[in-house]
Amino acid sequence: MSNGGTVCRPLPRQYYDRDTVTVAKELLGCLLVHHSPEGTTAGKIVETEAYLQGDPACHAARRMTPRNSVMFGPPGYAYVYFTYGMHYCFNAVTNSEGVGEAVLIRALEPTEGIALMQRRRGRKNMRELCSGPAKLTQAMGIGIEHNRLDLTGARLYICQGEAGAPIVTATRIGIKEGTDLPLRFYLQDCRYVSRK
């Protein structure tokens, strides 16, 4: 994929094999890319949340299960899950193998395949396309079939973008436990963030 005249290569596995909070912050400004049979969609990551193994809101907080086992595997894989009986959420598995952690991608600024995103979402408003974890998976065409997909491959991946905007640290939203932990990060003054 070409981005502003530069080749967009998937981030290497070692990028994800680091402290989860660090990865959550450094993913801001990177591009999430999905090549699907319908076409290519991409967006700049503008909001993330870190989920840590000792964190009560983390799916891996208690033990490994069939649902969360990908979080304990090698870093750099997709963890996609179904929530509230209607939505998918997309996460990148982080930290060392055996540590159940991941970064939730919460919001994107659409950059490519916007017409396709609008069809998938049934909306024209640019801000409404990817300003939330369920919105972005629908717009990007990401579903449960992408769970456990290798993010260093050529189908669904994250590549280096451009940093620059200041990062805001806040508490996470849409959860019932661990609500006081400062583990949500977003680009300051970005209109595509889900909630400020």
Per residue in 132-150, pLDDT tens? Answer: 999 999 999 999 999 999 9
Structure tokens at 194: 């889900």
Dihedral (C-alpha) 147, 27, 156, 81: value to the nearest 10 degrees? 20
For residue 84, what pLDDT is reported? 67
Residue 99 has pLDDT above 80, yes or no: yes
What's the pLDDT band for 3 if we cut at 50, 70, 90?
Answer: very low
Query: Is residue 4 over pLDDT 50?
Result: no
Q: Domain 2-187 sits in which CATH superfamily? A: Methylpurine-DNA glycosylase (MPG) (3.10.300.10)
Q: Where are the domains of the chain?
A: 2-187
| pLDDT tens per residue, range 48-78 | 999 998 888 888 888 888 888 999 999 999 9
CB contact at 8 A, 183 and 171: yes
Judged against a pLDDT cut of 50, whether residue 93 lies above it is answered with yes
Residue 36 CB neighbour total at 10 angstroms? 16
